[in-house]
Chain A
Amino acid sequence: MYEIFSEQILILDSAIRLSVPLLLACLAGLYSERAGVVDIGLEGKMLGAAFGAGAVAYVTGNAWLGLLAGIAVSVALALIHGFASITNRGNQIVSGVAINFLAAGLTAVLGQYWFSRGGKTPPLTDGGRFPEIDFPFAEQMMDVPVLGLIYSELLSGHRLLVYIAFLAVPLTWWILFRTRFGLRLRAVGESPAAVDTAGISVSWLRYRAVIACGILCGFAGSYLSIAISSGFGLNMTAGKGFIALAALIFAKWRPVSAMYTCLLFGYLEAFAINYEGKEIYLIGEVPSQFFQALPYILTVILLAGFIGKAIPPKAAGVPYLKERS
């Protein structure tokens, strides 16, 4: 029994690490889409951020400067998306796809130009990465049954960005549902005309939402290149931005549900890693592809209306026209 428990703790521990980039990207998408700007460029922004963070952290040997660079790149890409879809009222899907292509191409070309390693950045020194943080007494607590394992394996020993990601959840909830800015942000995603009538700038609100989205994507990308790995690798986001988008729909655009969804998706992946080739009790051996596909399958089932209904913000994807002439 205890063995099963400790095994589950290890899987959960792995799930936390795997869900962090999803969670950050998912919250990023939440800000943007709640304000009415559909963003399928999450993947591209993460990739750009991962590259910026990896490159600057390598050059300066400082993880904090790397993180700032990652956020700067991501926000810059977010502003391009904003300029295309808010100011110029372009198609948000097309603009998002363009961001993805732009990031995939630019990171490879600039990486090759600067570092001549086929688009990769060189491995980072210790100062260029966020170290693992061990909670006080984690070692000593290890022997305490149940609680010790939870404390020292599950909660302790993650990198700073992991804790930031989970703190971003209540913060996002508070901003969206307890502040004036949040109220207006949600309103602009539902009925921009009403916001406009109240004398509040729709564009400025949406821009702020898009910038918030950029900042969170910056954290997500930096986590990939300067926290869990050491340096940027070509296309290292590997579709996480799209899974985050699926998670956002699955969570019905709500921050706390987003956290649970991302943890679930992370858990599925961790479970697949742990049980690959092993027999699962009563079920037998399950191919690991099944678990990799499960997030998408679950989202499709949700969209088909089997697990409640996912209703996006009403004005999502619709550019706001102040006046028709």
Chain B
Amino acid sequence: MNRFSKIVFSAVFATVLAAPAVMADPAIVYSVGGKFDGSFNESAYSGVKRFEEATDKTVREFTLERDAQSLQALRNFASRGNTPVVAIGFNQANALGQAAPEFPETDFAIIDMVVDKPNVRSYVFKEQEGAYIAGLLAAMASKSGTIGFVGGMDIPIIQRFLCGYKLGALSVNPDIEILSNMTGDTPAAFADPVRGGEIATSQIKRGADVIIQAAGGTGLGVLQAAADAGILGIGTDSNQNGLHPGKVLTSIRKRVDNAVYDSFQSAQNGSFEPGIQVLGLADGGMDWVLDANNKMLVTEDMKTAADAAVSRISDGTIKVHDVITEGACPV
């Protein structure tokens, strides 16, 4: 029996029989889009895989079809004694805020959102920093002087990403034109590659020759459309360079895998601490990927400029605007 059906069965039987089995296995609830979205959730999944290989624990998994399932999934795992229970995605914050006080003995963690409860560890990322590097590389690689951005759901963290991208691009070329679209207003906007492809195509026809996706599963359609049209895409969250070798300029990784691994590991050896963990370029929470699939696309100049920007952001010389704490994007 594969893992998916295991989860389905265990979820069904747990509700039907309410078996009070006690296990100390960790559990994870993926966001809409699923663990094979090639991007955000898949990054979390690779953390899960790493943990499973390092220890002989099995990680319980559940994938949300819609937000409303989150609360039930979290309660389910917690009531069966799973700890820690990790919620992937901003859209689970409300559910976790409700579930965490019900199970004070269970450790919880959430990615991309802060839930202020005594047994919750919140991991948030400085998306704007990684996006700045993406914008910088995109502007250097663009020949047409127009670059594109396709976001998923229109939410503050995606807006923050967009702002960083714009700032990075403008730092190289003050005249660059940046086309930007959001896919939608519900979490389904992170799982619609058909629409993502169409948005990317429309940006390409308007002249964009480098397009970044910040749209989870929707982004697969964006990168596909970019590769079809013979222009460059930029991946996010996971390393997506290998999806279309030679057609993906780089990937801005958000190390959700490290956050997931870290939370599992710390709970395992009893060092789990609630609170807020902010990850950025300086501590390796965000990075950009240079590998065999894109090394012909990234020139020496581009690499030098990107590395310089990384170190200047890390030491605080460059401060990238954060739309969540500092208000609307200045550009």
List residues of A whose CB falls within 8 A of some B CB: 10, 13-14, 17-18, 112-113, 116-120, 123, 132, 153, 224, 228-230, 233-236, 238, 270, 273-274, 276-277, 288-289
Q: Which residue of B lies closest to A232 (CB)?
A: B193
Q: Is the CB of B181 within 8 A of A273?
A: yes
Determine if A123 and B198 form an interchain contact, defined as CB atoms under 8 angstroms apart: no
Given A10-B205, A276-B182, A230 and B224 contact (CB-CB distance below 8 Å): yes
Using a Cβ cutoff of 8 Å, how many contacts connect chains A and B? 69
Kindly identify, within residues 176 to 204 of chain B, every residue whose CB is under 8 Å from any CB belonging to chain A: 180-182, 185, 188, 191-195, 197-199, 201-202
Complex CA distance for A274 and B2, rounded to whole angstroms? 43
A277 to B154, CA, bound (A): 11
Q: Are B198 and A118 in contact (CB under 8 A)?
A: no
**Distance between Cα atoms of A17 and B37 in the complex (Å):** 24
Give the shortest distance, in Å, between B237 (CB) and chain A (any CB).
16
Closest beta carbon of chain B to A119's beta carbon, Å: 7
Complex CA gap A229/B200 in Å reads 12
Which residues on A sit within 8 Å (CB–CB) of B181?
273, 276-277
| Contacts A/B (CB < 8 Å), 9 sampled | A112-B2, A117-B36, A118-B34, A132-B228, A228-B197, A229-B197, A229-B221, A229-B224, A236-B193
Contact B217 A274, beta carbon cutoff 8 Å = no
The smallest C-beta distance from A124 to any residue of chain B, in angstroms, reads 10
Which residues of B pack against A, CB within 8 Å?
Answer: 2, 4-5, 34-37, 63, 180-182, 185, 188, 191-195, 197-199, 201-202, 205-206, 217, 220-221, 224, 228, 243
Bound: A113/B4 CA distance, A = 9
Quick one: which of A224, A276, A288 contacts B194, CB cutoff 8 A? A224
Chain A residues with Cβ below 8 Å from B193 are: 229, 233, 236
Given A10-B205, A273-B199, A116 contacting B194 (CB threshold 8 A)? no
Complex formed: what's the CA distance from A119 to B195 in Å?
19
Contacting residues, chain B, for A112 (C-beta < 8 A): 2, 4-5
Do the beta carbons of A14 and B217 come within 8 Å of each other? no
Please determine whether A229 and B202 come into contact, CB atoms closer than 8 angstroms.
no
Task: Give bound CA distance, A230 to B243, whole Å.
Answer: 12
Give every chain B residue within 8 A of A289 (Cβ-Cβ).
185
CA A118 – CA B44 in complex, angstroms? 14
Taking the closest CB of chain B, its distance from the CB of A16, in whole angstroms, is 11
B202 and A14: CB pair below 8 A?
A: yes
Cα of A18 to Cα of B202 in the assembled complex, Å: 11
A228 and B36 contacting across the interface, CB-CB below 8 Å = no
Given contacts A18-B198, A123-B220, A229-B197, 5 further A-B contacts (CB under 8 A): A14-B205, A228-B194, A233-B220, A277-B181, A288-B182
Q: What's the least CB distance linking B255 to chain A, in Å?
A: 21
Which of A10, A14, A113, A132 is B198 in contact with, Cβ under 8 Å?
A14
Q: Are B34 and A234 in contact (CB under 8 A)?
A: yes
| Among candidates B4, B185, B228, residue contacting A118 with C-beta atoms closer than 8 Å | B4
Q: Is A238's CB under 8 angstroms from B188's CB?
A: yes
A233 to B217, CA, bound (A): 9
B94: min CB distance to chain A, Å: 22
Contact B194 A234 (CB under 8 A): no
A238 closest partner in B (C-beta): B192
Q: In the bound complex, do residue B224 and residue A14 qualify as a contact, i.e. CB atoms below 8 Å apart? A: no
Report the minimum CB–CB distance from A18 to chain B (whole Å).
6
Rank and list the top 9 A-B pairs by shortest CB-CB distance, nearest first. A118-B36, A118-B34, A117-B36, A112-B4, A10-B205, A14-B202, A230-B224, A233-B193, A273-B202
Task: For the complex, give the distance between the alpha carbons of A320 and B198 in Å.
Answer: 43
Q: Which residues of A contact B197 (CB under 8 A)?
A: 228-229
Name the A residues within 8 Å of B37 (CB-CB).
Answer: 118
Distance to closest chain B CB from A266 (angstroms) = 10
Q: Is the CB of B36 within 8 A of A120?
A: yes
Contacts of A288 in B (CB 8 A): 182
The smallest beta-carbon distance between A114 and chain B, in angstroms, is 11
Query: In the complex, what distance in Å separates the CA atom of A249 from the CA atom of B4?
Result: 40
Given A112-B2, A229-B224, are A274 and B191 neighbors across the interface (CB < 8 Å)?
no
A274 and B182 CA atoms in complex are apart in Å by 11
What are the residues of chain B within 8 A of A10 when measuring CB–CB? 202, 205-206
> When chains A and B are docked, how far (Å) is the Cα of A310 from the Cα of B248?
49
Chain B residues, CB < 8 A from A270: 198, 202
Tell me the nearest residue of chain A to B188, going by C-beta.
A238
Pick the residue among A117, A120, A235, A238 that contacts B195 (CB under 8 A).
A238
CA distance A118 to B32 in the complex (A): 12
A contact residues around B243 at 8 Å (CB): 123
**Residues of chain A contacted by B188 (CB below 8 angstroms):** 238
